[in-house]
Amino acid sequence: MGAMDNTDLFVCIDHVGLAVPNLDEAIKLHTEVFGWRVLHRETNEEQGVEEAMLGTGDQHVENAQIQLLAPLSEQSTIGKWLAKNGGRGGIQQLAYRVKDIDAVCATLRERGVTLLYDEPKIGTGGSRIQFAHPKNTGGILLELVEPAADAAH
């Protein structure tokens, strides 16, 4: 598969992922104080998270979302991240939306980026997700998201 043009790589910022110790408390803060709305909530056993996607009241196709990520166990990725960060919440990941995750992954691999999984895994709302290790990205955990075909965006 040939490399893509840079303009074809990312559609927009899909979401910013916040690690939180307690999902209900975090939802309360972000809805009651900051005015976000809960768009979707689910448990993803494979990723070890209970998560909620938050959007603005007037959500358009390319509005970024906030993803609240609470750990299912202390050994999960988010559990370990929280332990390393003093148990407090914080920004854990930045997620870019893509149209064709397989093509984007192939291009990034050609450019020397280390991706975590051989094949994309299932993310929120039936999306396909992949991550680039922070060592290749200037210290940020980058996620790629290809929304499910029937998703609103």
Q: Which stretch binds ligand V0V (CB under 6 A): 24-32, 54-62, 89-97, 99-107?
A: 89-97
End-to-end CA distance of the chain, in Å? Answer: 26
107 versus 127: smaller Cβ distance to ligand V0V: 127
| Separation of alpha carbons 102 and 79, rounded Å | 29
Interaction between residue 131 and ligand V0V (CB under 6 A): yes
Quick one: tokens of 93?
A: 């990941």
Name the CA dihedral angle for 133, 137, 143, 146, rounded to a multiple of 10 degrees. Answer: -120
Interaction between residue 126 and ligand V0V (CB under 6 A): no
- The enclosing H or E element of 91 equals strand 90-97
Determine what percent of the chain falls in helix, strand and coil, rounding each to the nearest 5: 25, 35, 40
51 versus 98: smaller Cβ distance to ligand V0V: 51
| Separation of alpha carbons 80 and 86, rounded Å | 10
Interaction pattern, residues 10-29, with ligand V0V; x per rule: CB under 6 A: -------x------------
Interaction pattern, residues 68-87, with ligand V0V; x per rule: CB under 6 A: -x-------xx-xx--x---
Binding site for ligand V0V (CB under 6 A): 17, 44, 47, 49, 51, 67, 69, 77-78, 80-81, 84, 92-93, 95, 116, 123-124, 127, 129, 131, 133-134, 139-141, 143
